[in-house]
């Protein structure tokens, strides 16, 4: 499996995953620099809850769809129907429960003004429902260019709407930002439905076997994602519980730069999970081993170009972007920069496990990560606040990466020396691209 053959799709993938970065830049200038600190902190909390529910629904209903649809492009009506049903009922029950519990949740997070915002959560989930299913179907067929345009409607449309509303003097609260997000997600879902309509194959009576394999895979996938979400999201909620929304705003002003890590993780997932599923279904372990080794080295070297600027230029960058606001974010950003080296190993390891169908192993990995991350947050956040949250995230990420690679080696044996030997592939790849240009 030659990685160079997929350069065009990789570039579309890179463009797609650059969209959240573009959104983040607009978010910095149009939201963080404008909204009052507490309003911004409240929106961050609502957004984190929305992302958690979306991720859990994806793990239970959409990750199994991605795996099985990538393995068999033929009769997918049963698994698509089951996926939509699981997704619908999960979203309905969880978002409804959080609306009912909004006042105790707000009190627990030391954010009493969060409760009214939580009433908008079901609308956010509904606006993104079709979009999320369609993105998985496009990914399973490697239709990366279509995936890009669906994402572009939301990630570019939301900042455009914020700018328009600001010019009309209609943007001054977290509620306004939620309404704009609902509009952009709805537009993205509409385009997604148009582009993927031929892929939506329905059946009124899906087979019991489809229910069983989707449910079994989804449960283990859900367990793994729950643990990952504790690692990636609990820092914000624990910090809020100890310090309130204002410190969450400071922390999030630095953490927003880590969207570039999310971009890298999603690019890796876009290709590794369906690719590993395909190679595993063919029994082609030799090419799978090559893909793992090349991906580890290529992506880790690439992340150096992110880590170095984040560490060396954190102070000037924060000062320039926020215009003197959130000066404490600079040191937090430098700490986050260290996480660059851990991101590829965990992303590749976890997606290879899922692609191989080793959902149970991924679940075990998730439990280990949950224990490590909670321990790190409890040890660092009460003592050092926002800076402690960043330290806890970085420590957890390195432990998580080591655990993921150790598990992968059980199924795809490789050594550090074999990974490093792939540097010749990097040089060959660069030379071939130079000659073509």
Task: Assess whether pLDDT exceeds 60 at residue 140.
Answer: yes
pLDDT higher than 80, residue 9: no
Q: Which residues of 89-121 are buried (b: 16+ CB within 10 A; e: fewer)?
A: ebbeebbeebeeebeebbeebbbeebbebbebb
The pLDDT tens digits for 86-136 are: 999 999 999 999 999 999 999 998 888 899 999 999 999 999 999 999 998
Residue of 96, 24, 107 lying closest to 53 (CA atoms): 96
pLDDT, residue 188, reads 96
> Using one digit for the tens of pLDDT, what is the confidence trace for 294-335?
899 989 999 999 999 999 999 999 998 888 888 999 999 999
> What b/e sequence results for 125-134 when a residue is b if at least 16 CB atoms lie within 10 Å of its CB, and e otherwise?
bbbbbbbbbb
349-365: average pLDDT:
82
- Tokens, residue 304: 């150096």
pLDDT in tens, 40-81: 889 999 999 999 999 999 989 888 888 787 776 566 667 888
| Average pLDDT of span 20-29 | 83
Q: State the CB neighbour count (10 A cutoff) for residue 379.
A: 14
Please report the DSSP string for 212-256 in residue order.
Answer: HHHHHHHHHHHHHHHHHHHHHHHHHHHHHHHH-HHHHHHHHHHHG
pLDDT of 3 reads: 47
What are the CA-CA distances from residue 142 to residues 1, 19, 149, 165, 337 (Å)? 15, 18, 14, 36, 31
Sequence-ordered alpha helix ranges (H) in 313-358: 314-322, 329-337, 343-355
Q: What is the mean pLDDT of residues 359-370?
A: 79
Phi and psi dihedrals of 408, rounded to 5?
A: -60, -35
pLDDT of residue 51: 92
Which residue, among 416, 395, 394, has the nearest Cα to 405 in the 3D structure? 416
Higher pLDDT, 370 or 127: 127
pLDDT digits (tens, 9 = 90+) for 147-163: 899 999 999 999 999 99
Q: Which pTM does this prediction carry?
A: 0.71
What does each C-alpha distance from 370 to 59, 366, 389, 396, 428 come to in angstroms? 16, 6, 15, 9, 40
Residue 430 has pLDDT above 70, yes or no: no
Contact predicate 3/245, CB 8 Å? no
Q: What is the pLDDT of residue 1?
A: 44
Q: In this structure, what token pair is assigned to residue 32?
A: 């963080």
Per-residue pLDDT, averaged over 387-399, amounts to: 94
């Amino acid at each position: 499996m030659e990685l160079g053959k997929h350069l065009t799709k990789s570039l579309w993938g890179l463009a797609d995953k650059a969209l959240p970065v573009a959104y983040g830049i607009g978010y910095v200038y149009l939201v963080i620099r404008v909204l009052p600190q507490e309003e911004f902190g409240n929106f961050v909390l609502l957004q984190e809850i929305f992302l958690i529910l979306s991720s859990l629904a994806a793990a239970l209903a959409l990750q199994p769809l991605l795996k099985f649809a990538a393995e068999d492009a033929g009769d997918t009506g049963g698994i698509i129907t089951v996926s939509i049903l699981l997704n619908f009922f999960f979203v309905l029950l969880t978002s409804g429960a959080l609306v009912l519990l909004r006042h105790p949740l707000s009190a627990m997070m030391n954010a009493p003004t969060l409760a009214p915002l939580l009433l908008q959560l079901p609308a956010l989930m509904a606006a993104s429902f079709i979009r999320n299913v369609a993105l998985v179907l496009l990914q399973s067929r490697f239709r990366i260019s279509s995936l890009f345009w669906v994402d572009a409607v939301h990630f570019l449309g939301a900042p455009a709407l914020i700018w328009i509303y600001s010019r009309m003097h209609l943007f001054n609260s977290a509620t306004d930002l939620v309404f704009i997000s609902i509009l952009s997600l709805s537009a993205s879902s509409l385009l997604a439905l148009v582009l993927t309509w031929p892929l939506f194959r329905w059946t009124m009576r899906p087979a019991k076997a489809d229910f069983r394999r989707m449910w079994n895979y989804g449960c283990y996938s859900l367990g793994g994602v729950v643990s990952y979400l504790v690692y990636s999201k609990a820092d914000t909620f624990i910090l809020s519980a100890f310090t309130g929304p204002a410190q969450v705003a400071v922390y999030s002003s630095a953490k927003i730069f880590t969207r570039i890590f999310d971009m890298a993780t999603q690019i890796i997932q876009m290709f590794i999970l369906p690719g590993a599923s395909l190679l595993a279904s063919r029994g082609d372990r030799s090419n799978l081993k090559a893909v793992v080794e090349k991906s580890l080295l290529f992506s880790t070297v690439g992340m150096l170009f992110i880590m170095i600027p984040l560490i060396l230029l954190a102070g000037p960058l924060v000062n320039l972007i926020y215009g003197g606001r959130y000066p404490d974010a600079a040191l937090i950003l430098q700490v986050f920069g260290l996480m660059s080296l851990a991101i590829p190993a965990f992303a590749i390891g976890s997606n290879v496990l899922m692609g191989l169908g080793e959902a149970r192993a991924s679940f075990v990995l998730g439990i280990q990560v949950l224990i490590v991350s909670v321990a790190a947050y409890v040890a660092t956040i009460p003592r050092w606040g926002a800076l402690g949250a960043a330290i806890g995230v970085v420590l957890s990420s390195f432990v998580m990466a080591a655990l993921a690679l150790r598990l992968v080696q059980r199924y795809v044996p490789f050594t550090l020396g074999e990974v490093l030997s792939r540097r010749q592939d990097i040089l060959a790849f660069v030379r071939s691209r130079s000659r073509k240009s």
